[in-house]
Amino acid sequence: MSVRLRVAAAQIAISDDVDLNTAMVLQAMHTCAGHGVDLCVFPEAALTGYSPELGRSRPASDSSLVMQALATVAAAAREHQMGVVVGTEAWDGDAWCNRAVAFGRSGELLAQYDKVHLTRADTAYYRAGDATPVFCFEGVRCGLQICYDARFPEGYRALLEQGAQLILQGFYGAGSGTWKVPVLAAHLRSRAAENGCFIAAANTAGPEQIVVSQIIDPLGLLLAEARQDAEELISADLDIACIGNSEIRSDWLSRFREHSR
């Protein structure tokens, strides 16, 4: 039986105020719920703000504030019976990580992913992750990526090896370098097409975005795209059954399985 998901990407403004950011996320979730969205992805560091852009790191004592914000988002997911992927900085014992956290319809933690490919600026603030987890949402296998990961196909390929059908990606790409808009769009479309999967990507609303929020099908075609520098919710209905029609995906998986024997 065909599985269909209504997926949204929330292009919202982000500040360094955790309470204000959390309120923005909750408002977007409320709007999504009213439009029948099953699963919504938010930008990189949507709850906390992005330290390289802010030019300062959070004190470790902010960890409890971040955990409280995540608990609030989980409660909203349970209230709206909606899945959510939200970006945040997260304290991991002795260092901050740049993390994407996925919650299910009951507010349960489904997965968390720490950004593997750090930019030069990132390295001053975050410890890199070393795993690419896959989780199941409504029978769909989902993976997570963050911003600069788009430049590297290896992470997406690792998700494909685990059967990922939908990749949810947060960006904090704004402030300068708008020439990157077509370049990063090409990267995302290539990642979707070469792996035969859907990608839903959400960026901060700007100003001067380097990539716009977008949802892409397994052929690399756009299903939805946000306007440049606008606060906007975009959504698309995904027919997961069409993934099986991707010749590239089926051929690569068969080769991989043969090689792994």
C-beta of residue 171 within 8 angstroms of C-beta of residue 42: no
In the predicted model, what is the mean pLDDT of residues 240-261?
Answer: 62
Q: What is the CATH number of the domain that holds 142?
A: 3.60.110.10
Domains in the chain: how many in total?
Answer: 1
pLDDT at 254: 58
Which pLDDT tens digit goes with each residue over 40-82? Answer: 999 999 999 999 999 999 999 999 999 999 999 999 999 999 9
pLDDT at 109: 98
255, two tokens: 């080769």
- One DSSP character per residue, 18-78 reads HHHHHHHHHHHHHHHHHTT-SEEE--TTTTT--HHHHTSPPPGGGHHHHHHHHHHHHHHHH
Which pLDDT tens digit goes with each residue over 169-205? Answer: 999 999 999 999 999 999 999 999 999 999 999 999 9
249 band by pLDDT with thresholds 50, 70 and 90: low
Name the pTM for this structure: 0.93
pLDDT at 198: 98
Domain that holds residue 24: 4-260
Which pLDDT tens digit goes with each residue over 232-245? Answer: 999 999 999 888 65
